[in-house]
């Protein structure tokens, strides 16, 4: 999954809501019961307040017929985008300063 450069990636909770719950008119309460998650925790995921853990990804995959990897990839993409923003806003980064040269393994 590519990390978008021009925009923030969509939080996987928003994807869950927009592509899976809303089109089927599934309530948070009903989906929480189906996944074994608390309604509060599921609401926090959907609202982007917490991320999707591996345990949650497996639960979503089982209930929705998707892969756990899909949910983890979405969360990782979202988290990496935010980490890159925080890092580049906080201090200069010296890209490639310790990169390994592909020919002999020595620093470039």
Residue 96 lies in a domain: no
Q: What is the pLDDT of residue 53?
A: 98
CATH of the domain at 40: 1.10.260.40
Q: What is the pLDDT of residue 61?
A: 98
Low-confidence spans in the chain with pLDDT less than 50: none
Q: What is the pLDDT of residue 103?
A: 73
Residue 7 lies in a domain: no
> What is the residue whose two structure tokens read 């929705």?
64
**Residue span of the structural domain in which 49 resides:** 12-78
Give the number of other CB atoms < 10 A from CB of residue 83: 10
Residue 33 lies in a domain: yes
Residue 1 lies in a domain: no
Residue 8 to residue 85: CA distance in whole angstroms: 10
Q: Which of 96, 11, 91, 80 is nearest to 50 (CA)?
A: 11
Residue 28 lies in a domain: yes
Q: What is the pLDDT of residue 106?
A: 64
Q: What is the pLDDT of residue 88?
A: 81
Residue 40 lies in a domain: yes
Q: What is the pLDDT of residue 41?
A: 98
Map residue 48 onto helix, strand or coil: coil
């Amino acid at each position: 999954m590519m990390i978008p450069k021009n925009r923030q990636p969509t939080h996987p909770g928003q994807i869950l809501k927009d592509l899976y719950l809303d089109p089927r008119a599934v309530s948070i309460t009903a989906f929480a019961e189906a996944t074994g998650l608390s309604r509060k925790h599921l609401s926090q995921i959907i609202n982007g307040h917490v991320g999707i853990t591996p345990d949650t990804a497996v639960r979503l995959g089982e209930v929705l017929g998707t892969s756990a990897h899909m949910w983890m990839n979405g969360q990782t993409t979202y988290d990496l985008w935010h980490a890159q923003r925080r890092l580049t806003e906080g201090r200069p980064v010296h890209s490639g300063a310790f990169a390994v040269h592909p020919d002999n393994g020595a620093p470039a």
